[in-house]
């Protein structure tokens, strides 16, 4: 696992596992994000470990997605076909799947994902929606999810978030690229340089 996307993903995965070990036992049934309690939010985030292992078992016939930003642009159409209730329930089920010792479960998922990535190269895999994408383009999307939801989890528990610098840089740059791909680049650049503000509901995902 020598390529940069894999190394940064590994950094994000280990940071997520460390965060889960720090969560208060009393907080698992407390608020997480939106309709998710903390357990469901952590479960949803853990899918960024599960899907890597799962999708590495697939092979795509064509490359539908050519970058990490392109993935988020294309996945918007797919996500629009899913009902909000289905998405919420998927997160809740993932939370239940963490079992009685969520931290140990997450540790195991991290170990499996990183082991599966070791020496695998850059295959063309099939991901959600049946899209074909290079592993090197898919991994940054999982780093992004681990980073963003890691911040969500920390905020929900009142923990000061600590993301590795490589993860934070990778996720922030991907957010900018998604914004550009969605035609929001100028607005983001103006906001990041203190020349304007973004709407309260602004999001690139």
Tokens of 71: 């993935």
| Bridge partners, residue 37, by sequence | 31
**pLDDT above 70 (res 31):** yes
User: Could you tell me if residue 109 is inside a domain?
Assistant: yes
DSSP, collapsed to helix, strand or coil, labels residue 37 as: strand
Q: Could you report the per-residue pLDDT of 155-194, keeping only the tens digit for each?
A: 999 999 889 999 999 999 999 999 999 999 999 999 999 9
User: Could you tell me if residue 67 is inside a domain?
Assistant: yes
pLDDT of 1 reads: 43
User: Could you tell me if residue 199 is inside a domain?
Assistant: no
The contacts of residue 41 (CB under 8 Å, 6+ apart) are 32, 33, 91, 95, 149, 152, 153, 156
User: Could you tell me if residue 204 is inside a domain?
Assistant: no
Closest CA to 114 of 94, 142, 93: 142
pLDDT of 3 reads: 52
pTM of the model: 0.94
pLDDT of 173 reads: 97
**76 or 62: whose pLDDT is higher?**
62
Burial category of 121 from C-beta neighbours within 10 Å (exposed 0-12, middle 13-18, buried 19 and up): exposed
**pLDDT above 50 (res 196):** yes
User: Could you tell me if residue 203 is inside a domain?
Assistant: no
Mean pLDDT of 28-54: 97
Q: Could you report the per-residue pLDDT of 95-137, keeping only the tens digit for each?
A: 999 999 999 999 999 999 999 999 999 999 999 989 999 999 9
User: Could you tell me if residue 29 is inside a domain?
Assistant: yes
**pLDDT above 80 (res 84):** no
Here the CATH number for the domain that contains residue 181 is 1.20.120.450
**pLDDT above 80 (res 52):** yes
**pLDDT above 60 (res 150):** yes
pLDDT of 70 reads: 97
**pLDDT above 90 (res 80):** no
Q: pLDDT band for 2, please (50, 70, 90 cuts).
A: very low
Domain total of the chain:
1
Closest CA to 150 of 138, 140, 160: 160
Domain residues for 29?
4-192
Percent of the chain with pLDDT over 70: 97
Average pLDDT over the chain, rounded to an integer: 94
User: Could you tell me if residue 205 is inside a domain?
Assistant: no
User: Could you tell me if residue 202 is inside a domain?
Assistant: no
Mean pLDDT of 65-90: 85
């Amino acid at each position: 696992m020598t390529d940069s996307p894999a190394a940064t993903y590994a950094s994000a995965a280990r940071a997520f596992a460390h965060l889960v070990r720090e969560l208060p036992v009393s907080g698992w049934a407390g608020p997480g994000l939106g309709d998710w309690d903390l357990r469901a939010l952590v479960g949803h985030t853990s899918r960024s470990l599960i899907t890597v292992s799962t999708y590495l078992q697939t092979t795509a016939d064509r490359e539908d997605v050519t970058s990490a930003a392109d993935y988020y642009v294309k996945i918007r159409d797919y996500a629009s076909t899913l009902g909000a209730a289905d998405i919420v329930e998927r997160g809740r089920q993932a939370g239940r799947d963490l079992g009685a010792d969520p931290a140990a479960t997450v540790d195991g998922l991290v170990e499996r994902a990183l082991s599966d990535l070791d020496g695998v190269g850059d295959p063309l895999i099939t991901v959600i929606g049946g899209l074909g994408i290079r592993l090197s383009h898919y991994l940054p999307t999982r780093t992004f999810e681990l980073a963003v939801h890691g911040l969500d989890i920390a905020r929900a528990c009142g923990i000061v978030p600590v993301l590795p610098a490589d993860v934070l840089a990778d996720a922030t740059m991907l957010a900018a690229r998604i914004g550009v791909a969605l035609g929001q680049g100028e607005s983001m650049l103006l906001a990041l340089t203190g020349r304007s503000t973004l709407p309260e509901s602004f999001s690139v995902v």
